[in-house]
Chains A and B, each alone.
Chain A
């Protein structure tokens, strides 16, 4: 392992350790587990395919709370270091600024992935007890959720590198919502008569992230076969876009005076 990788690993593990010692995170996790288990109650009051309700609510909870955790941790990732001045003794070591950003980001993604794994384990336990072991598509769906949250977290990291957590939260939430409405923006633009509106909508579609690319939850809920033709492009899109946003975060942080 090179010195760079060892430093990235040290930063990532410290970020992970900091996150898992935060009580707020356990509250969110506890609440998410509660919602997954709540699906059993909803099943009782549902007419129709009751098993599907449990799968839908359970997977929806993993999606929602995974996103909440990613945003909660991501928006203060860099700002907190600056505000608490812990960054002084870190960046005065022989560490490059990009290593700081990437190391912190990797630690955050490790935390998010572990949280999702815990939620998935709870869901799997529920399914085994009630409907049998989940279909493989469920695991692929959660895998794509990790890729989606990697992109969302990169945006949060970018905002955190130059603004306060409140502003970064607002921006990240906007990206999250727009990213889930990207297909609608395209549809709206393509149906507009005005050429300018069409151009603006199409530009927004291509510049802003499209989180629906990663969404195959419908296949997972309805136990349909994994749509592999979507998975490959989604992975490539997620990796490329995440790298670009992280590069922007590094560029912002490189120019920053640490006050």
Chain B
């Protein structure tokens, strides 16, 4: 169904009741979410907010308690919906007895690929994630970052239209993170949809078209990154020399002594910047730097979490 959203979630509730001697735990509470095709969509929230549970429902590992979830227009209960979905779980685990090449061929067979086409795809992906040199070594000797790269390759194996990644940057060195970012952007350029959860908000901010914030199993906000964080300057970071103890508008952050210089770092409200500069000059000093600062996604996220849970607690709650 090419006209349907890549992901459509309506009133999704998930309660775990597997251990009958424990109280049921509700991880998701009536979650609504819609992800359009071609988006890079970030899914953020504190630990235990329900991010991984949502992802597991989307790929059929968990059944919804209430509500519905569809991927590419197909209910998640139907395995056929996953033919064009690639999934990378958080901290992926693979068969230790296989090599990376054997593993990818095995997964290819589960995707009903075979023959020369599968071999070409496997070799291409091994090279793409820079694992081709160790492709015949058993996975039991792989580091966390190497497993993450193999996991990314298996998620892309079926040339999926929707790629779901749970903490894809986790355990990766800077080179690995750059690789994942490149892959995500490449897939977006090919018209694919990428839906990923992450704790690394800088990556979410720089990569995503839209972001959803989930807290305590509920959606707390969704929109373009610019909408969530706003485009206005929140303050200006001013660095001045030779101002002595002269009071400047705003809040003094620190004073650093570099050689013979005494540098004052001041957080100045944007509308008082002119006044602050005039006072610096009046005191016989000079402005070294004036950096306008915007609200970051992290600021918006921390604000949303504090607002939702003033006690600071996060995560899943015990059910009714």
Binding site for B on A (CB under 8 A): 3, 6-7, 9-11, 14, 17-18, 21-22, 84-86, 88-96, 255-259
Contacts and interface: CB of A to CB of B under 8 A. Distances in A.
A14 to B, nearest CB: 5
A88 B89 contact: yes
Contacts of B112: 3, 6-7, 94
Given A91-B61, A94-B80, A257 B109 contact: no
Contact of A93 (B18, B89, B98, B110): B110
In the A-B complex, the 10 residue pairs with the closest CB atoms: A10-B109, A92-B59, A92-B87, A258-B61, A85-B93, A88-B89, A21-B97, A94-B83, A93-B110, A94-B82
Interface residues of B, number: 33
A88 B56 CA distance: 9
B1 to A, nearest CB: 16
B315 interface: no
Contacts of A6: 109, 112, 114
Task: Classify the interface of chain B: helix, strand, loop or mixed.
Answer: loop
A257 B114 contact: no
A169 to B, nearest CB: 21
Contacts of B83: 94
Interface of B: 16, 18, 56, 59-63, 79-83, 85, 87, 89, 91-95, 97-98, 106-107, 109-112, 114, 151, 154, 158
Contact of A10 (B82, B110, B154): B110
B61 A92 contact: yes
Given A3-B112, A92-B61, A95-B79, A10 B106 contact: yes
A11 B111 CA distance: 12
Given A94-B79, A95-B79, A89 B94 contact: yes
A113 B151 CA distance: 33
A137 to B, nearest CB: 38
Contacts of A11: 110
Contacts of B63: 255, 257
